[in-house]
């Protein structure tokens, strides 16, 4: 059963008709099944985060629409969708447990129930002992676990995550990914996940949507046929490596195109190198 439908969603920034107007997202369409874990991957600025924000009702599309369970999105749907942000979106003046409880408080959940659900969620991410710490006392990985707990305890069917591990080092994110796979296999939520990491995409997702360079379109969708929770053995498997390579080929040209658009990359190849040497 389909729970999220994106129909020809486009998003442009800048004043209409101005030369500075950029098309971030161009006619993106994708249907997301209930209970599946979908990953968005693509070069920077390809509009994958924008699409995620539009699904969450945190941004409005310029054209097209998103349907959740058949109803068009126009604004946040806190009872259906929980969001995990890239940066630490923890409130620095609240303790860990108070951060987790905040969303429940916004939705007028009774006090006693708030406490139970928040402790349960903290337990699930393994941070029960840190309930009374402040965010600044936590490491980057722990902060993202708290965000995850906060999103989980809202009890929504859908979980959207915008590069949740972007700020973490590779080893931490490897372990976080394994834990996440175990945790999410249990909850049965529908999850959309934005990442820059090829391995992370393959390791976690049921399907990977690959975006093109700006203007962002969905280039292709790959399926990863492997049951959840994913094991360490999958991480080391030839299957994962093969899929990663396929993603690499799909993305490589798009990333270079993006960098050339921004003037970051050299003209590519030996000519640029020899010029550099002569100088």
In the complex, the residues that contact another protein under the rule CB under 8 A are 56, 58, 76, 78-79, 81-83, 85, 87, 89, 91-93, 102-103, 105-107, 134, 136, 150, 154
Q: How far is the CB of 165 from another protein (least distance, A)?
A: 16
Closest to another protein by CB, 85 vs 234, is 85
Q: Hey, what are 87's tokens?
A: 């940066």
- Whether the Cβ atoms of residue 221 and residue 209 lie closer than 8 Å to each other: yes
SS3 94: coil
Q: How far apart are CA 133 and CA 98, in angstroms?
A: 10
- What is the DSSP pairing of strand 71-72 with strand 81-84? unpaired
Closest to another protein by CB, 59 vs 259, is 59
Question: Dmax of the chain from CA atoms?
Answer: 72
Closest to another protein by CB, 92 vs 269, is 92
Q: How far apart are CA 241 and CA 70, in angstroms?
A: 37
Q: How far apart are CA 274 and CA 276, in angstroms?
A: 5
CA-nearest of 5, 12, 6, 8 to 214 is: 12
Closest to another protein by CB, 76 vs 188, is 76
Q: How far is the CB of 2 from another protein (least distance, A)?
A: 22
Q: How far is the CB of 58 from another protein (least distance, A)?
A: 6
SS3 75: coil
Closest to another protein by CB, 91 vs 248, is 91
Closest to another protein by CB, 146 vs 218, is 146
CA-nearest of 192, 218, 260 to 26 is: 218
Q: For the residues of 226-259, what is the DSSP string, one character each? A: -PSSPPHHHHTSHHHHHHHHHHHHHHHHHHHHHH
């Amino acid at each position: 059963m389909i729970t999220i439908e994106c129909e020809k969603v486009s998003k442009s920034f800048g004043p209409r008709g101005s030369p500075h107007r950029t098309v971030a997202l161009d006619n993106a369409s994708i249907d997301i099944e209930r209970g599946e874990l979908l990953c968005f991957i693509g070069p920077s600025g390809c509009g994958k985060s924008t699409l995620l924000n539009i699904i969450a009702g945190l941004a409005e599309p310029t054209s097209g629409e998103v349907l959740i369970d058949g109803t068009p999105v126009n604004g946040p749907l806190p009872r259906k969708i929980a969001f995990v942000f890239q940066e630490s979106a923890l409130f620095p003046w609240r303790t860990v447990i108070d951060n987790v409880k905040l969303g429940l408080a916004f939705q007028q959940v009774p006090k006693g129930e708030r406490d139970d659900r928040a402790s349960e969620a903290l337990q699930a991410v393994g941070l029960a002992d840190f309930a009374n710490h402040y965010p600044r006392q936590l490491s980057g990985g722990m902060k993202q676990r708290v965000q995850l707990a906060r999103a989980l305890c809202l009890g929504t069917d859908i979980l959207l995550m915008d590069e949740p591990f972007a700020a973490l080092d590779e080893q931490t994110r490897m372990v976080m990914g394994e834990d996440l796979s175990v945790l999410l296999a249990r909850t049965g939520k529908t999850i959309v996940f934005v990442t820059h990491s090829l391995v992370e995409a393959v390791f976690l997702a049921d399907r990977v949507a690959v975006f093109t360079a700006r203007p962002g379109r969905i280039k292709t969708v790959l399926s990863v046929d492997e049951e959840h929770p994913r094991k360490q053995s999958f991480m080391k498997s030839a299957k994962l490596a093969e899929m990663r390579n396929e993603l690499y080929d799909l993305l490589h040209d798009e990333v270079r195109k993006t960098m050339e658009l921004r003037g970051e990359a050299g003209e590519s190849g030996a000519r640029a190198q020899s010029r550099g040497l002569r100088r």
